[in-house]
């Protein structure tokens, strides 16, 4: 998050930078934390990571790969069921397809 940004602006900017897509945040999917997910950096800094996941509406752009991923594409929910997806991402998809935000 950059100083002076609203969280929805941060999310839209990050999506653009990482996927080439222009999006508008429409709702909160969930806030995800795991007390066992602790990262220690080479400089000695230790952090417990968390993530905030938003549902967005596509408003423009074309999917493209970036330094953080090999490829970008859209898939129907039924197609994702048969893909190899990390359990933490599968959980976010499940919550997106559900009704209320997840806090955990």
For residue 36, being part of any structural domain is answered with yes
For residue 1, tell me if it sits in a domain: no
Residue 46 lies in a domain: yes
Q: What is the pLDDT along the chain (104 residues), one digit of tens a residue?
A: 999 999 999 999 999 999 999 999 999 999 999 888 899 999 999 999 899 999 999 999 999 888 878 888 888 888 998 999 988 899 999 999 987 788 98
Chain centroid offset of residue 94 CA: 13
- Whether 75 is in a domain gets the answer yes
Give the pLDDT confidence score for residue 70 in this predicted structure. Answer: 84
Residue with tokens 């945040």: 25
User: What's the pTM?
Assistant: 0.81
Domain assignment present for 2: no
Q: How many domains does the chain have?
A: 1
Q: What is the CATH number of the domain that holds 45?
A: 3.90.79.10
Q: What is the extent of the structural domain holding 24?
A: 7-103
């Amino acid at each position: 998050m950059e100083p002076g940004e609203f969280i929805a602006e941060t999310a839209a900017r990050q999506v653009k930078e990482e996927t080439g897509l222009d999006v508008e945040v429409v709702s909160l999917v969930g806030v995800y934390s795991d007390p066992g997910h602790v990262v220690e950096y080479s400089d000695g800094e230790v952090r417990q990571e968390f993530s905030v996941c938003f549902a967005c509406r596509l408003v423009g752009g074309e999917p493209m790969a970036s330094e953080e991923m090999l490829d970008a594409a859209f898939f129907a929910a039924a197609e994702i069921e048969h893909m190899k997806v990390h359990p933490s991402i599968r959980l976010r998809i499940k919550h997106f397809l559900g009704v209320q935000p997840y806090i955990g």
